[in-house]
Amino acid sequence: MRKILAILAAVGLTATTGTTLVSCGTKHEDKDYTKVEGVNAWNNNIKQVQGYVIDQIGTTFESAKDMNEKIKTIDFSKVARNNIIFADNLSLGKSSGEKAEAVAEKAPKPTGLSDYSVYIVAVRSSTKGSGSDKKNTLKIDYLVSKSEQWTYANFGTNTGFNYDNVFVTYTN
């Protein structure tokens, strides 16, 4: 038994005698991305995701198409947490095409989650503003938990996903 424990220790695994459970000895360190330049969300969970995306692909792109292609290369599992949940069918580089109410119905119930936890459904390029004041953005569409319910945005008589934007630059 000591030889087995020595071998496991040599490769970074831990175990104790009398158990059959072996666990990894390394802990994933959570990095704080909320202070990355360009982050501007009100929700700290979305700030974390915004900062992670900026850290991975930056904020300057050739075009919206270029940004959407780069978004598709990001491993979002590295920023997922108990309070930052990504939809199984996360839309990368495009809108989800679903209504917020429908997504809220089929999303995992936020039972036990703290208020302001997020369920992210899309990360994509967008344009904020109208007329000649349009600004190119990276947009994150999400639901937010409140009192163990997923909530979405109300725009008068219309509803939609909550969203936050990061301003980006296109070179073309």
112 with 98, same domain: the answer is yes
22 with 67, same domain: the answer is no
Higher pLDDT: 7 or 162? It is 162
pLDDT digits (tens, 9 = 90+) for 103-160: 999 999 999 999 999 999 999 999 886 667 789 999 999 999 999 999 999 888 888 9
The pTM of the full predicted model, rounded to 2 decimals, is 0.79
Give backbone dihedrals phi and psi of 168, rounded to 5 degrees, phi first. Answer: -130, 170
Q: Assess whether pLDDT exceeds 80 at residue 4.
A: no
What is the predicted pLDDT for the residue at 2?
52
21 with 42, same domain: the answer is no
159 with 106, same domain: the answer is yes
4 with 84, same domain: the answer is no
100 with 76, same domain: the answer is yes
48 with 69, same domain: the answer is yes
pLDDT digits (tens, 9 = 90+) for 40-56: 999 999 999 999 999 99
Neighbours of 42 (CB within 10 A): 9
What is the predicted pLDDT for the residue at 26?
40
- On average, the pLDDT of the chain sits at 86
- E-assigned strands of 13-172? 13-14, 23-24, 60-61, 84-92, 118-128, 135-146, 149-151, 153-155, 158-160, 162-167, 169-170
23 with 39, same domain: the answer is no
Helices of type H across 11-137: 44-57, 64-71, 100-106
Give backbone dihedrals phi and psi of 63, rounded to 5 degrees, phi first. Answer: -165, 175
124 with 71, same domain: the answer is yes
What is the predicted pLDDT for the residue at 1?
54
pLDDT digits (tens, 9 = 90+) for 10-30: 544 444 444 434 434 344 457
What is the predicted pLDDT for the residue at 99?
93
93 with 163, same domain: the answer is yes
Domain tally, the chain:
2
103 with 146, same domain: the answer is yes
Residue 151: name the closest of 41, 79, 124, 160 by CA.
Answer: 160
21 with 45, same domain: the answer is no
Of the CA atoms within 13 Å of residue 111, those in its CB half-sphere come to 2
> 20: domain range?
1-30
What is the predicted pLDDT for the residue at 138?
95
